[in-house]
Amino acid sequence: MELDATVYVAGHRGLVGSAIWRRLEAAGHTRLIGASSSELDLRDREATFAFLAEHRPDVVIDAAARVGGILANRDHPTEFLSDNLRIQVNLMDAALDVRTPRLLFLGSSCIYPKYAEQPIRESSLLTGELEPTNDAYAIAKIAGLLQVQSVRRQYGLPWISAMPTNLYGPNDNFDLTSSHVLPALIRRFHDAKVAGAPEVVLWGSGTPRREFLHVDDLADACLHLLETYDEPEPINVGVGEDVTIQELASLVARVVGYEGAIGNDLSKPDGTPRKLLDVSRLQALGWKPTIDLSDGVAATYAWYLENAV
Ligand SMILES: NC(=O)C1=CN([C@@H]2O[C@H](COP(=O)(O)OP(=O)(O)OC[C@H]3O[C@@H](n4cnc5c(N)ncnc54)[C@H](OP(=O)(O)O)[C@@H]3O)[C@@H](O)[C@H]2O)C=CC1
Ligand SMILES: C[C@H]1O[C@H](OP(=O)(O)OP(=O)(O)OC[C@H]2O[C@@H](n3cnc4c(=O)[nH]c(N)nc43)[C@H](O)[C@@H]2O)[C@@H](O)[C@@H](O)C1=O
């Protein structure tokens, strides 16, 4: 990407969008565009078309979405489907209208079947049933990657899709009802340490396995893909190894300095038993992550103490 390219980062205040913005700035990009959801609601089709027509970006990175953890997805499927379909359809239709030369759409590893063969290759898409706690979100994301493929086929534009694994880092959502597991555990172990609570109770059995990628690594991978990747298939972005939720909890407790017990609430859902991504196609492009999980959790806890307590 030329350093004077105009890059619109949709969702630039979120976990992913803010990391991509930082990474672009660090690389020397000077023409970055962002708009908060109150300035531009991407569910508003007319406003989205007007915004793209005004700015005519060279590159669009779609990191805007309704995002949440397992309970938010399970309890609000209507909004996860409807908002995400509207956000991405409006954004991509408007980008097509001004023939945006390059676009990166971000999906999620939840697009793959619940019982996909591990590690999950991109070719597993649509080969089995989805995990019911997030099927509405997954279907919206699958529609997004099909929109990218359709634009490529019909209009010849080199748009691409990436499917990240579970992410964490600065600007994550630490709200206990809507967050993902890693920020939730940072907050819950911190609160338990401060309160001197004897136990922190994990949702579910603690046996599901998850792969965690620091969002600064994800941002670096996104820039690398914009430089090197031009295929219709989505490409997985992950670290290639996973841990159980119990192991994650022990790690977070150690980083936070919480010494009480760790229990399990079996009335809460486990979700997908495992979703380790096969990252061989990404590695073949010459990219690998640099932030180890325990260093990343320590840095995120430091960020939390500084910014969110
Ligand atoms: N977090 C994770 O673990 C993973 C995330 N992803 C993907 O990465 C992308 C970004 O996720 P993440 O950064 O975690 O999410 P966040 O919730 O942190 O950020 C989402 C961003 O989207 C913006 N947004 C939401 N609704 C609208 C709207 N109607 N109009 C305009 N902007 C809107 C928000 O803007 P504002 O702040 O101004 O309201 C916010 O900046 C998503 O596509 C997600 O699927 C993929 C895999 C894992
Ligand atoms: C990124 C991804 O994120 C979601 O899928 P998920 O990986 O299942 O999400 P999660 O991070 O919320 O949970 C991971 C595991 O952790 C357990 N768990 C324990 N204790 C807490 C806890 O306190 N909070 C949360 N949230 N989970 C907990 C929880 O029960 C589950 O077994 C989807 O939105 C999906 O659409 C998506 O894309």
pLDDT band with cut points at 50, 70 and 90 for residue 308: confident
pLDDT band with cut points at 50, 70 and 90 for residue 309: confident
What is the Cα–Cα distance from 148 to 60, expressed in whole angstroms?
Answer: 12
Q: Which CATH superfamily is domain 7-171+213-238+277-291 in?
A: NAD(P)-binding Rossmann-like Domain (3.40.50.720)
Q: For residue range 35-86, what is the model confidence (pLDDT) as tens digits?
A: 999 999 999 999 999 999 999 999 999 999 999 999 999 999 999 999 999 9
- Enter the tokens of residue 176: 């206990």
Q: Note the pLDDT of residue 221.
A: 98
The average pLDDT across 87-104 equals 98
Among candidate residues 8, 112, 137, 301, the one labeled active-site is 137
Per-residue b or e along 84-117, where b marks 16 or more CB atoms closer than 10 Å to that residue's CB: bbbbbbbbbebbbeeebebbbbbbbbbbbbbebe
pLDDT band with cut points at 50, 70 and 90 for residue 133: very high
Q: Where do the structural domains in the chain lie, given as residue ranges?
A: 7-171+213-238+277-291
The amino acid sitting at 73 is: N
Q: For residue range 21-39, what is the model confidence (pLDDT) as tens digits?
A: 999 999 999 999 999 999 9
Choice from 15, 165, 218 to test ligand 1 binding pocket (greatest atom count within 8 A of CB): 15
Beta strands 199-203 and 243-244: pairing type? Answer: unpaired
183 CB under 6 A from ligand 2? no
Instruction: Please tell me the residue having the least CA distance from ligand 2 atom 1.
Output: 166
What is the Cα–Cα distance from 197 to 260, expressed in whole angstroms?
Answer: 7
The mean predicted confidence, pLDDT, of the chain is 98
To the query of whether residue 137 is one of the catalytic residues in this protein, the response is: yes
Is the Cβ–Cβ distance between 155 and 96 less than 8 Å?
Answer: yes
What is the Cα–Cα distance from 305 to 78, expressed in whole angstroms?
Answer: 34
Q: Note the pLDDT of residue 84.
A: 98
The average pLDDT across 216-229 equals 98
Share of residues in the chain with pLDDT > 90 (%):
99
Q: For residue range 246-292, what is the model confidence (pLDDT) as tens digits?
A: 999 999 999 999 999 999 999 999 999 999 999 999 999 999 999 99
In the reported structure, the alpha carbon of residue 198 is separated from the centroid of ligand 1 by a whole-number distance in angstroms of 35
Q: For residue range 162-174, what is the model confidence (pLDDT) as tens digits?
A: 999 999 999 999 9
Separation in Å, CA 224 to CA 16, 23, 239: 15, 11, 15
Choice from 21, 66, 67, 181 to test ligand 1 binding pocket (greatest atom count within 8 A of CB): 67
Share of residues in the chain with pLDDT > 70 (%):
100
Q: Note the pLDDT of residue 186.
A: 98
CA 68 to chain centre: 10
134 CB under 6 A from ligand 2? yes
